[in-house]
Structure 1
């Protein structure tokens, strides 16, 4: 067994000191200062190690490191509602906190997202082309050809709806949305969006988190 189980882990902080990982229902993998709190990941401090397992799928195959920054602003919704985007940006600059992450992500998952994005783009472009061609045809008709103009309006409407549908599909299925941040308290950060299979590899926060931390039972 190697002296340092994190030596070949690209998701490890360089100064990380290995500590035992508690057994979970799933086969545990090496991690440090990461815990499971319901459907969220809790990161403690700035010396943490993600296990070599995709955060978004739970797969341990074909992984690539993905740099990602999570940000947190207290009462961010209130700032946005009262002062709009500019107010939210000012709040982030003055009161916001952020954490730099290097996440293990499945390259297959990223490829699937890119595929959906391209598919949505092609649908949007195709619908837009049908709409524009129909519009040009309508404008080129003699005003007395009202009936034909009305018929051409049908593919124009369908093209517009198809284009909008393609854009929605591209945004929903093709966007690469990695983990978000729901809370930062002290030196603890709560991350949302991780796969259940990934969370199952982490020790339970309430029973194995650092004593005195929010939500951790006394031991």
Structure 2
């Protein structure tokens, strides 16, 4: 039985995570009240695992590229060959929201060449800072696209300001024999990694700094 911090009654999210044996594990730690005081300084790590079997999480390349725009979670789960009871949507709503925004802006074309760039300014990240590995799914959603995400907000630790995080693989599953555990595993050497840069402060305070750094990048969003 879990001893709840400060003797508080567990939230519905805590109970849900406990019921699927993910409470306070890996990427899921910041998803409940028990993880509120998890200091980002302790690790904005991308070396994270789903803590799920391979059949329940997207730990490797999709079987097929996206053939048409994904308009629902059901469509995403079907494309990724996941059962609807998989809980990964709890964490993947960050990258899937970005994907949906691109669809709405009508900037995505059916096919990209290796020179295309997707640049996103992401404002106000909080618990996402402890779930950076989830953004690796953008590699599957935008194949062969160079993705740059500027994460800007006051919750970024001062010691991490300006840090660049490259995600070149998907978060691993818990199956010891899965290909995602190999030296190449879930990496696709033909695809540029998702690049995240952390900026501490409010957007209006850091915008000029960001634009200077991105002056050589042509954003499409």
Instruction: Establish whether TM, by shorter chain, passes 0.5.
Output: no
Q: TM-score range by the shorter chain?
A: under 0.3
Higher relative contact order (CA 8 A, sep 6+): 1
What is the TM-score when the length of structure 1 is the normalising length?
0.23
Give the structure with the larger strand fraction: 1
What is the TM-score when the length of structure 2 is the normalising length?
0.23
Report which of the two structures shows the higher radius of gyration computed on alpha carbons. 1
